[in-house]
């Protein structure tokens, strides 16, 4: 399982909000600070302000499939740090990202199926290094 501990997060996301959390890469705790940016349509971007990458942008987009199903689309653009330690950590996280997104997709679907509405979500993700 992926372990993430939130230190600071608003109850409802808004433009400019910041989230602080720790994500574990094996036994190694990785502290992260991200800022939320709203985008046109249903979705948002979180940008790393502090963390293991030189640059990180994660675009979350939601597309309605039908009355009970929403597609969750993740697009990540990242640039590895020049520092050897953070470059190694970032590379490990980048390689493990499909597992992280698969776990999140499974967990989201499971939570929604337990909801009284019987809603569901499908998920897709793409990763690309920054130019």
Question: Going residue by residue through the chain (131 aa), what tens digit of pLDDT does each one get?
Answer: 568 899 998 888 899 999 999 998 888 899 999 999 998 889 999 999 999 999 999 999 999 888 888 888 999 999 999 999 999 999 988 988 888 888 888 888 888 788 776 555 555 555 555 54
CA-closest candidate to residue 71, choices 28, 105, 99, 24: 105
What domains does the chain contain, in order, with CATH numbers?
Answer: 4-129 (3.30.530)
CB 74 within 8 A of CB 127: no
Compute the distance between CA of residue 101 and CA of residue 43 in angstroms, rounded to an integer: 17
Global confidence as pTM = 0.79
């Amino acid at each position: 399982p992926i372990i993430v501990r939130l230190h600071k997060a608003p109850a409802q996301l808004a433009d400019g909000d910041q989230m602080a959390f720790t994500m574990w890469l094996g036994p190694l705790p990785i502290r992260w600070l991200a800022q939320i940016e709203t985008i046109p349509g249903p979705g948002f971007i979180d940008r790393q302000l502090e963390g293991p990458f030189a640059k990180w942008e994660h675009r979350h987009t939601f597309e309605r499939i039908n009355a009970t199903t929403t597609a969750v689309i993740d697009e990540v653009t990242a640039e590895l740090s020049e520092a050897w330690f953070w470059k190694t950590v970032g590379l490990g996280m980048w390689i493990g990202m499909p597992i992280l997104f698969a776990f999140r997709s499974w967990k989201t679907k499971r939570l929604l199926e337990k909801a009284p509405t019987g809603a569901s979500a499908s998920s897709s993700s793409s990763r690309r290094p920054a130019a």
